[in-house]
Chain A
Amino acid sequence: MKILLDILYAPLYLAAAIVEIIKEKDKTTPTWLKLLAPVLAVGGLGIFAVLSFVQAFVMTAWLGNPYPVFGFDQSPDQPISFPHTIHAGIGPLIDPDTGSPYISTSGESRVNDDGTTMEGLGMDCTYCHKQVSEEAWAGVPPVELCISCHKVIGEQSNDQLKTLRNYGLYEETKSPINWERVHRMPDHVRFVHAPHIWYLTENPEAIQNKPVGFETLPDGTVAISQVCSTCHGDVAGMEQVRQDQPLKMGQCVACHRANEASVGCETCHH
């Protein structure tokens, strides 16, 4: 660790050494050396700033979500800009942060031709992520499922829908869609969606980041779609999906402790 810090602060040490030389041997110090001192000092500060930023980046990435630089984008662009707002959103598509209609990834406001705010379809998350309550992986739908609606629904001129139809409707252009993964657990972590979903549906008090329009069923449980926000945030309010929660081990362990779930290593690392 000391060596690392020495390397990090090496320019400062060098600048300080030169200042000492200037003080002691002012008269005999050559001019080039006198000029070099402020240059090195400024340069050193610049390097210090950069390294401090790197250090801060590493520390934040370690503890939470990293800054979206160096390719660490929490909301990567997708082959098709699928808006969860329109599909899963409920009621008028108003961004709670701005109080205005959501803005699509292409910069268009979610308003109808008559100026009214568009409304979300309110589709249940499990319509597409069907396996979430039964398997480890929530799953993404086959293109055919998208096409089952968008064969008819949606403007023919819409570029995104054109792309989608190319993926799934026409024999000559049919191909799978390679979505950019947004949430990924490290290889040494085994996360299984199903038990988490069932626990949270039966214990709504454990749900975090409750979504807009959260409601409990008469028997005290909640629908599956109400629990996703605990780890994924309000996806129904995202024009482009991003990782909302850090999903670090500390968060997992804290939640497990709060709900008296196992915190043994083998629970996730097996």
Chain B
Amino acid sequence: MSSLDNTKNNNVSRRKFMGLLGGTALEAFIFEACGVPEQEYIIQSPVDMPEDYVKGEDNWYATTSDTSEHGESVIVRIMQGRAKKIEGNPDFPNTLGKHKAVTETEIQTLYHPDRISGPLYRKTSSGNHRPISWKEAESILKESLLLSKGNKSIITKPLRGMNKGIIDQFSNEKGLKHLTLSSLHDYSMYESSKEVFGTKSLPYFDIKNSDLIISFGLDFLGAWGPVEYENQFGKFRSKDHRGYMVQIEPRMSLTAAAADTWLCSDPGREGLIALMIADQIIKSSKGNSANINKFKELAGISDISELNNSSSSLDPKSVGSATGIDYHKLEKLIEKIITHLESNDQSKILFLSGGATSGYPNSKSINSLVFGLNYLTGSVNSKGGIILNPDNVFDDIEINGENLSLPTSSSWDSLDYWKEEIENWRSGNQDLIIVRGVDLVNEIPGKSAIIEAFNNSKMSIGFGTVVNDTLERCDLILPDNTTMQSWGSDIPEPRTGYQLFAFGQPVASDPYTRDGSKKLFDSKSFFNVLLSQMENGLSGLTYMDLCKEIANKIYKSSSYNNSSIVASNADDFFKGIMTRGGWWNINKKSSGPNNPKINITNVVSDVKRSNNSFHLIPFKSHVFGDGNSLANPWAQGSPDPLTSITWDSWIEINSKTAEGLKIKAGDILKVTSNSGSVELPAYLHPAVPSNSVSIPIGLGKQNFTRYASGRGSNIVELIDTSKLNEDGNISWNATSVSIEKTKNKKKVSKFEGTVPAIAVEPGVPILTVGPNESAEEGFHRAHEEHLDHTFGDHWKDKKHDEEKGH
């Protein structure tokens, strides 16, 4: 039989054969797929220990916070020498276990991938930085200090306590001038309150025990104030007699948003409201006559009208018209104050000032007037009012024949003084600039002029953890320790009404390379470097020695008795201080104001703008403050509490105004002032006054690590420095700007709108506040709605019966 015949007789056709083949393959696939993969029978132990996969006991060490300007104490969780988490120090009076969002980011400062790895030096201003050893670096520093015969300056943030004392010692010995700078700092509020209450440092605000708080711009729940004030506000609101708060300022800050009533005044005219309050209290005859006389005596007046430098009279209707506030609200405010004055249960009224109010040409007068109102209501140095801080244990201490000052309050320099200094630099008379912790070129208006002047200095030395726009222009860059690597001390400002010291210690070990052969960041403590350069009695001492010396002196002083730490000897006392993060004595309080004075020269200031322009209200973000924390991605990524924007800067503009100008959310706006212009994406917000716009400061740095370089716009460029306040400082809120819509648009990253409001737990109403409604009214409405929703008709019937009097 031929092969052809065989094929013919075969019943399996080609089609069938292919079908069988496919079926077989499918079966093989199914059987294999139904099996358990081999790796399922394996459990793998990885070679290296993953992060945090360490079984062991953690330790929590106390130290001072890097990001706080109030000397807050923190505790840091340490596992095998590594810092893992930061929390507020539960023992310490101005934190009570709480901490701000930005405090968390200090962990990232410690382990930042862009931290300066070692000293860097360039011989000429056009040369490149090259790594050098600390020995070489310190020798260059020494030579610069010795050889310089011209002007020499050292620039830091405002300092207090021993830090200020060391800088003063160093400056005196080496012939340096000490300058301080901090953008959008509340200098005026600090100075006014010290003068009004006759103290050497900022008083403490007893928010918790107050019943009515009237705050003129002080954002104590947002960008300013120790975290303890936020904690206190919770207690102010939750006590049996719920406290009531009114916030008066031209921008809805976080504090304004949390207040029961926000009164949006035209910028610069808040003083008129304060005058009205004083006038109404006196006219009502409900105030204590001794208090009224005291106020008049301190202000040097016989009648309130003497302080009124405006054409407006002081009745609510006129003041409402002059400030742009509905006068009914002002009447309600007066009614509230009078009711509290009439009450027999020792109701306390607290008047606060600062924040936006400190940004006008007459900021000192307004602050003085508002703080002075506390005399009218008997709220000075009494529970629920202004608690004065006493002098600390000592103003200075003597160490090896040297007098180390320990001031309790920060000092700062006015813009006038700075202008003079920068002019000196520009003229070529500057031999040496040492800068630490200040991004000079971004924090003071007039960037290009400052850069030019800065480059004119023969030598510039910068201390820092990461390179910024100022440090990159320094000839010698010296890597600084973070507070978690250094000894530290501070005198918190404000203190909590008694004697108090904060101390810090190195809590984390220095990070090393993987093979352990060298430090990842070869940094040193700034103050230890200064001490090592000194040749007087402090020579050879370290910062730790000085901390011990202060502790010894406290231990030997009368203030030690009945204080926070009991020890049998000075060594144990020092250990106790380090364990608790500081020392305090609640029995050492202020006896009262010392030579107080209410100095009011100009209550009402006209912050002018033309018809087509807007008032510019710059503000500090609750999260990243002045912007020096923005190198840390956690700070960039934490949403602004009001707008929920992250990783960018923005301009807040009224929704209706924007509609009129055909501006939509995300449109890039060109904002122009007399000083410059910047471009920013628009954020539309119904709570922005129609005559103003707001922009956060701190962004727009050119070179500031991989996370912040070139991000956002620097608003400092817009600030009009022709209008200084009574202290010669910048009037931050006195700039008017015009807005122009560009063709560009940007999708701003924000959390808003993606998460619906949900109740904290089932059955709890979601609180909302409607237009022209106070938080308290909103609370009651929401409660009613909740009852209606929950109990339905039954509740309505009951209400109906009550209304009918059944």
Of B40, B42, B47, B55, which one neighbours A143 at CB under 8 angstroms?
B47
Which bucket holds chain B's interface residue count? 10 to 19
> Which residues of the partner chain A approach B757 to less than 8 Å between Cβ atoms?
none
A 139-156 to B, binary, CB cutoff 8 A, 1 in contact else 0: 011111110000000000
- Contact across chains for B46 and A179 when beta carbons are under 8 A apart: no
> Which residues of the partner chain B approach A184 to less than 8 Å between Cβ atoms?
40-41
> Which residues of the partner chain A approach B45 to less than 8 Å between Cβ atoms?
140-143, 146, 167, 176-177, 179
Q: Does B48 sit within 8 A of A, measured CB to CB?
A: yes
- Give the number of residue pairs across the A-B interface with Cβ within 8 Å: 56
Nearest A residue to B50 via CB reads A142
B 49-71 to A, binary, CB cutoff 8 A, 1 in contact else 0: 11001010000000000000000
- Contact across chains for A178 and B44 when beta carbons are under 8 A apart: yes
- Contact across chains for A144 and B41 when beta carbons are under 8 A apart: no
Known: A126-B55, A130-B55. Is A180-B41 also a contact (CB below 8 A)? yes
- Contact across chains for B47 and A142 when beta carbons are under 8 A apart: yes
Give Cα A130–Cα B53 distance, bound, in whole angstroms.
8
Give Cα A146–Cα B41 distance, bound, in whole angstroms.
22
Give Cα A181–Cα B36 distance, bound, in whole angstroms.
13
- Contact across chains for A181 and B46 when beta carbons are under 8 A apart: no
- Contact across chains for B42 and A180 when beta carbons are under 8 A apart: yes
> Which residues of the partner chain B approach A168 to less than 8 Å between Cβ atoms?
47
Q: Does B43 sit within 8 A of A, measured CB to CB?
A: yes
Nearest A residue to B56 via CB reads A127
Known: A144-B48, A176-B47. Is A127-B41 also a contact (CB below 8 A)? no
Interface of A is mostly: mixed
- Contact across chains for A142 and B53 when beta carbons are under 8 A apart: yes
- Contact across chains for B55 and A174 when beta carbons are under 8 A apart: no
- Contact across chains for B48 and A179 when beta carbons are under 8 A apart: no
Give Cα A174–Cα B49 distance, bound, in whole angstroms.
13
- Contact across chains for A178 and B42 when beta carbons are under 8 A apart: yes
Q: Does A175 sit within 8 A of B, measured CB to CB?
A: yes
Interface size on A (CB < 8 Å)?
23
Query: A residues 88-145 with Cβ under 8 Å of B?
Result: 126-128, 130, 140-145
Give Cα A175–Cα B46 distance, bound, in whole angstroms.
8
Q: How far is the CB of B57 from chain A (nearest CB, A)?
A: 12
Give Cα A174–Cα B46 distance, bound, in whole angstroms.
10
Of A128, A130, A167, A179, which one neighbours B47 at CB under 8 angstroms?
A167
- Contact across chains for A179 and B55 when beta carbons are under 8 A apart: no
In the complex, which of the residues B43, B49, B50 has the most CB atoms of chain A within 10 Å of its own CB atom?
A: B43
> Which residues of the partner chain A approach B42 to less than 8 Å between Cβ atoms?
178-181
- Contact across chains for A175 and B40 when beta carbons are under 8 A apart: no
> Which residues of the partner chain B approach A146 to less than 8 Å between Cβ atoms?
45
- Contact across chains for A145 and B49 when beta carbons are under 8 A apart: yes
Nearest B residue to A179 via CB reads B43
Give Cα A143–Cα B49 distance, bound, in whole angstroms.
7
Which residues on B are within 8 Å of A, measured CB to CB? 36, 40-50, 53, 55
Q: Could you list some 22 contacts between A and B, CB below 8 A?
A: A128-B55, A130-B53, A140-B43, A140-B45, A141-B53, A142-B46, A142-B48, A142-B50, A142-B53, A143-B45, A143-B46, A143-B47, A144-B48, A145-B53, A167-B47, A174-B47, A176-B47, A178-B44, A180-B43, A181-B41, A181-B42, A187-B36
Other CB < 8 Å A-B pairs besides A144-B47, A180-B43, 16 of them?
A: A128-B55, A140-B44, A142-B46, A142-B50, A143-B46, A143-B48, A145-B49, A167-B47, A175-B47, A176-B46, A178-B42, A178-B44, A179-B43, A180-B41, A181-B40, A187-B36
Which residues on A are within 8 Å of B, measured CB to CB? 126-128, 130, 140-146, 167-168, 174-181, 184, 187
